[in-house]
Amino acid sequence: MTAREAESAVDEGVRWHELAAGPVRSLWFSPPDGVEVTGSVVVFPGLGLPRYLLPLARTLAGSGVEVVVFDALAFRGRRRRVRPTIRGLATAGQQWVAELARTSLAPHGPLVVFGHSTGAQVALEVALGLQHTGRIDCLVMAGPTFTPKQRGLLHLVPAGLTAWRKDPPTELVVLKNLARVRTDVVRMVLSGLRHRPEERVTRLRVPLTTTAGEADSFAPSEWLEQLAAKAGAGGRSQVLVGSHNNVFPHPDEVAELVRAASRLG
């Protein structure tokens, strides 16, 4: 099922979760009536901005996968909220996935943890924190940030200038979310720059798939290969079409990779 077909075929819902780490909203995408549920995917967006990942969620759901998108920064103005850092979002994410696995997700079939950009860093920490439960089947890191060379402004700025060069103007859909989170973005980026995915993946005990668009200067192919090679349970890398946010204009290609990562669908 293509992204266009899936958009009109799946049901969407919003749920709210009061976790120890803070309040979290989740966006749900269920397969249409008559389509067998083959597994579940939990999705962690880059910079905590979920809107641009909705085409991918709909495409996956249209093919029989239950998809739940993590949205932890929807509560500006509340005194108690999830900290907008890799650690803060990962802590909330672990509590959220554990709650979903107990109460809501499909009881049969694989559970894939998927993260994009800084969300890939969050997803990595979520998988590390929950892999001992035996509930998580694999991890997919799409457009993972940041390479060791990019952890200084001298190399980060040039990478940022070219990372989206093949992405369409329609991605400006995320500006609505950017206005909401504002200074959270700066805190997320600074936290991401301190994070060391190449060291953390060695502790993984579930298979890892890394991917990015061919023109993604934030996640070049050699970085994808390095992370996959260091994964404790083994990994593979695959370059797809597009740039850093290829998950938005190319949901069909990314969805196919996610399904293949754990034989969903």
Global pTM value: 0.88
Spatial contact of 218 and 117, defined as CB atoms under 8 Å apart? yes
Task: State the pLDDT at residue 86.
Answer: 96
Percent residues over pLDDT 90 in the chain: 62
User: Exposed, middle or buried: residue 243 (CB in 10 Å: 0-12, 13-18, 19+)?
Assistant: buried
Task: State the pLDDT at residue 95.
Answer: 97
CATH number for the segment(s) 3-260 = 3.40.50.1820
Task: State the pLDDT at residue 176.
Answer: 52
The Cα 244–Cα 132 span in angstroms is 31
Instruction: Extract the residue ranges of the chain whose pLDDT is less than 70.
Output: 1-9, 75-79, 106-108, 152-182, 264-265
Question: Can you list the alpha helix ranges (DSSP code H) found in 66-164?
Answer: 86-103, 118-130, 153-162
> Do the strands 11-19 and 22-30 form a parallel or antiparallel pair, or are they unpaired?
antiparallel
Task: State the pLDDT at residue 161.
Answer: 45
Domain boundaries, the chain: 3-260
